[in-house]
Structure 1
Amino acid sequence: MNDENEWGLRPLTPSEANRLRELAEAVGEDLGRFGLAMYNREAPDWETAAGGLEIEVDTFDDAAGGIWLHWTVHPALRLASREAHQSGRPNDSVIRAAGHVHERMASAILSMLKALGYVAEDSDDDYRPFAIKVLSGPG
């Protein structure tokens, strides 16, 4: 049995974590065939990368664990949204536009996954708004 970490979270076993990573890789390959560009927050140029689909693999054995898909917009829109938010303009059109794009892309990604036979759902995690959680692969 895996030990809990300092926050009380238990990591998945190595075989469970590998299964999750393999499923995440398959999701990326399948959605890439639909033309979605991949976004990697681990890449050296992540702050200036054009955006795209980010695949997060959370390897803890809790409700928030699993595969999460996030749409990342272009850095210009990210910066403009952040500046509007930090300047106290929550109703700024750029914030509304970014929210609209995230909402529509989440819906499109969920539709693509379902067409491919994946089981997935919209996020109910407050820390992952507009994300999609992949529950299982096709078949």
Structure 2
Amino acid sequence: MFGIKRASAAEIAERNDRAGKVAEALTTAGFPVHQDENVPAVLGALVSVDPADDSRGGVFVQWLIGSSLSRAAGESAQKGEIRSPAFRHFGFVTEHMHATLIAILGSAGFQAVDADDDMNPFLVRVDG
């Protein structure tokens, strides 16, 4: 059985420190920020640390949209109604907040880029 190799304790500590600075920069810019992925009904920017010791590891940010819009967009997608107002609005907000997070973090001195994650296409990777 294969396990995911964790980064060193020093690397994880550095990531946690960077995540804290990212959260502070976003909070200072006026965004609601959360760092606990396990809290239900969280809205705004979610800053997280992945402890993996490979390209999956690092500090990440994603924008979390309200559950009613997410649910409506999901229902539209299941019905194949990708031109529905809810689906279009969800896409618009997600796409623009992704770009906004990258721009705001870049302005704050971070190297923020699209994480290139097929499972989460609007995930932002943040380096030093």
| Equivalence map 1:119-138=2 (5 Å) | 119-136=111-128
1:13 lines up with 2:38 in the alignment: no
Q: Which residue of 2 aligns with 1:75?
A: 67
Q: Deviations over 1:29-76 (max 9, x none)?
A: 111000000244322xx23x4x10011211101112111110011111
Q: Which amino acid aligns with 1:62?
A: D
Normalised to the residue count of structure 2, the TM-score between the two structures is 0.89
In structure 2, the partner of 1:58 is 50
Could you tell me whether the CA contact under 8 Å between 2:37 and 2:48 is conserved in 1? no
Alignment match, 2:84 = 92
CA distance in 2 between counterparts of 1:95 and 1:68 reads 25
RMSD, aligned α-carbons = 1.6
- Mapped to 1, the partners of 2:54 and 2:85 lie a distance apart of 36
Equivalent position of 1:22 in the other structure: 17
Unaligned runs of 5+ in 2: none
Deviations 1:69-93 (Å, cap 9, x if unpaired)? 1001111101111222233323323
User: 1:8 Cα deviation (Å)?
Assistant: 4.3
Runs of 4+ in 1 over 4 A off after TM superposition: none
Give the secondary structure class of the aligned counterpart of 1:84: helix
Output the TM-score relative to the length of structure 1: 0.83
> How many angstroms apart in 1 are the aligned matches of 2:111 and 2:70?
29
Per-residue Cα deviation, 1:89-124 (whole angstroms, up to 9, x for no partner): 233231221111111111111111111111111121
- Which residues of structure 1 form unaligned runs of 5+? 1-5
Between the two structures, name the one with larger relative contact order (CA 8 Å, sep ≥ 6).
2
Aligned length: 127
